[in-house]
Amino acid sequence: MTAKLLNDSKVSNSNEESFSHLVEQKVLSLRRNIISERADKIADVVYRSVNVILDKVSELEPRFTVSEILKVGSYFEGTKIDKIDEFDFLVVIKELSKPGAIHLNKIPDVFDEGYLIYTAEPGMVQIKLQDDDLKIKWRKYVVDDFLTGFHHPTDIHKRRQGFGSLILESIKIFAKTQHEWRNLFFEPGVNMFFNRGGLTLLSISDSERVILKTAEVHHPNTVLELKYDGSRISVDLSPAIRYDRVEDCFEAGDCVDERLAAAVLDRGSILLVAKQGNYFRITFTETEVKFMRDKIHGVHKLIYMYLKYIKCLYAKQASQPDVHPFSSYMLKMVCIHHDMRCTSENKTVSKCLDEVLDLMADYCEKDDLPNVFNTRLTYLDIRDTESEYRLCMLDGLRKIKELAVENPTEAYFNEVIKDVVEQSANTFDVTREMRFKKADRAERRFRAECERLRKVNESETSKDCLPGSMLSQRETDVLQTVTCEPRLAH
């Protein structure tokens, strides 16, 4: 494809409208397999399969009796694209979700001799059990008075039956009952997989035969791989606690918009999702799913799915397999930010996409993308090695639109997307950027340390300095430490 730059003055409104239509048609084509009776049936069968396993978990360990299995993730919020291959669920622990069962401890900043040595990440809390009976019942899941995230400690001699381990034990029981044990490879507390066939979940009817292939514990969540109707499906199960005293851990002023804040407060509860150690993250998943499904403007929802599609193409083209220019969650945050501030009465994909891209560029420049529910939570860390690749994707998105507006046909649009992504991604060497950023971080650390030492040594006499040098002996030692590191290859 020969790229021809577009003269903006010659762009007609009809071509802009045609571009909007092209994006809409592209998203609809990506969702063709998602919006179908088959997809609905798969979602229902997966949900019932999860119920089967969790019922067995509650038999093994009544403490983990579940009150709700919340459907979260892109499929249930109506933004899934391409194919049915994954589902996410939050598993609400019944006993700990009763009103008054727990007390939240906001993690304070830690100081040593007046110096801040640790700042708690916003949105994280610790949990103390309020009821004495609960304290006794859950004592083996409590460390230093705080509830753990339902997983094993590292000391193998103190292993506890965590949430993920109980899922594996439940599956093992199913396998033994169905005489499919010999094909199962089982590592207690970690993972299991079937080397042939798989485990048939018997409570599903013959016409809805679900096969469990693998199960892995990624503390504290557990990932299952199911096979149904020719599709391989990843299922993520994360334990959570419902908490009804929202004001204890949510400040409306931290929310990006009063409408979102009102939606959180109107719901009347939030969810605490187990993380590593004895930390839990405050999440607004239910409000977020409902907003993306029912509240966000349709044009902005289309843009979000289009951005996800382009992001996946860039991720596939990256020279490093684990490099993603943006996470889907980052893109969602940007689109919600835009939705909150968009004042255009006649919203179009073409116009709003321009504004979204400008917003993304602004966030990239500032290395600061606030979470819409808690603006103290930010992404796009300045030390992120993928930041330049994000700018590469933004430039690609602008060029795709520029060329597609010039010739707004479906065939040309598909060709433009393919060629622009390949060309721009291939001219960007992620490994090279990582090396440069590593060197830049080393230089910034060195300069910061030298500045600190200068302040420390300001009161010292000049005899501590090397002859003919403005640097003290300690500063020179730092310089030698940095410069003696192996040079980065160019």
Shared-domain flag, residues 130 and 211: yes
Domain that residue 456 falls in: 432-483
- 47 domain residue, yes or no: yes
pLDDT in tens, the chain (490 residues): 433 333 444 456 888 999 999 999 999 999 999 999 999 999 999 999 999 999 999 999 999 999 999 999 999 999 999 999 999 999 999 999 999 999 998 876 554 555 544 556 778 899 999 988 899 999 888 888 899 887 655 444 445 568 998 999 999 888 888 777 777 888 877 888 887 778 888 655 656 788 999 999 987 899 999 999 889 999 999 999 999 999 998 999 999 999 999 999 999 999 999 887 788 999 999 999 999 999 999 999 999 999 999 999 999 987 666 677 899 999 999 999 999 999 999 999 999 999 999 999 999 988 889 999 999 888 776 555 577 889 999 999 999 999 999 999 999 999 999 999 999 888 776 444 444 444 454 455 555 555 545 544 554 444 444 333 333 443 334 333 333 333 344 3
Final residue of a structural domain among 240, 267, 286: 240
- CA 260 – CA 256 distance, rounded (Å): 7
Count the domains in the chain.
3
Same domain as 203, residue 313 = no
Q: What is the CATH number of the domain that holds 337?
A: 1.10.1410
Question: Domain end: 194, 212, 240, which one?
Answer: 240
Question: Are the CB atoms for 437 and 452 separated by under 8 Å?
Answer: no
Q: pTM score, two decimals?
A: 0.82
In a domain, 324, yes or no: yes
Name residue 92's beta-bridge partners: 68, 240
Residues with Cβ within 8 Å of residue 200, at least 6 apart in sequence: 178, 180, 209, 210, 211, 212
pLDDT tens digits, residue range 306-349?
999 999 999 998 766 667 789 999 999 999 999 999 999 999 99
Buried/exposed 188-216: b ≥16 CB within 10 Å, e otherwise: ebebbbbeeebbbbeebeeebebbbbbbb
In a domain, 54, yes or no: yes
- 44 occurs within a structural domain: yes
Model confidence over 259-268: pLDDT tens digits?
A: 999 999 999 9
Same domain, 180 and 106: yes
CATH number at residue 221: 3.30.460.90
- Residue 255 counted as domain residue: no
- The alpha carbon of 164 is separated from its chain's Cα centroid by a whole number of angstroms, namely 20
Biggest CA–CA distance in the chain, Å, is: 88
d(CA 51, CA 43): 12
Domain membership flag for residue 174: yes
Rounded to 5°, the CA angle 392-292-281 comes to: 85
Say yes or no: 127 and 196 in one domain.
yes
Mark whether 444 and 311 lie in a shared domain: no
Residues 6+ apart with CB under 8 A from 466: 472, 473, 476
